[in-house]
Amino acid sequence: MSRADRPVLVVAAALVDDLDAPRRLLAARRHRPTALAGRWEFPGGKVDPGEGPVEALHREIREELGVEVELGAELPGPEDGAWPISTRYRLRLWAARTDGEPQPLVEHDALTWLEPGAWLSVDWLDADVAIVEALAERARLAGGLR
């Protein structure tokens, strides 16, 4: 398998207000590339060579939002624990919370806290819709995201 054919691992955080009783979910609006501009996603990014997924997630959140996070449970996806987000990219997602005030620093031009019942009210990237639905269901059934 050539390097161009290998899956690319992406990590992201479902930032919520409380890991035990999540109500609000943070959505981040892309401002680039043009094809994704104006759509909403979970903050995160690619895992660099030699970096572990959790280490990469902490780095990406610091770079993109300027905050440190406490990680909760990973929300495993249907393909070897990952969520397919394109033909090449696979996403691993963790619930997270912060005591800081996230700011849109790099990849995003806006952030919004989505209130209960409105987690699907923004124009999420297509691949993220199923993840938001699964996250809401897990929070409801499990009583939290730890």
Q: What local confidence, expressed as pLDDT, does residue 116 receive? A: 87
Q: Does 62 score more than 70 pLDDT? A: yes
Is 133 domain-assigned? yes
Domain count, the chain: 1
Is 146 domain-assigned? no
User: Distance between CA 33 and CA 118 in Å, rounded?
Assistant: 26
Is 56 domain-assigned? yes
Is 38 domain-assigned? yes
Is 36 domain-assigned? yes
In the chain, what's the furthest Cα-to-Cα distance? 44
Give the range of the structural domain holding residue 115, as residue numbers without chain letter.
3-141
Q: What local confidence, expressed as pLDDT, does residue 144 receive? A: 78
Q: What is the CATH number of the domain that holds 56?
A: 3.90.79.10
Q: Tens of pLDDT along 5-50?
A: 788 999 999 999 999 999 999 999 999 999 999 999 999 999 999 9
Is 107 domain-assigned? yes
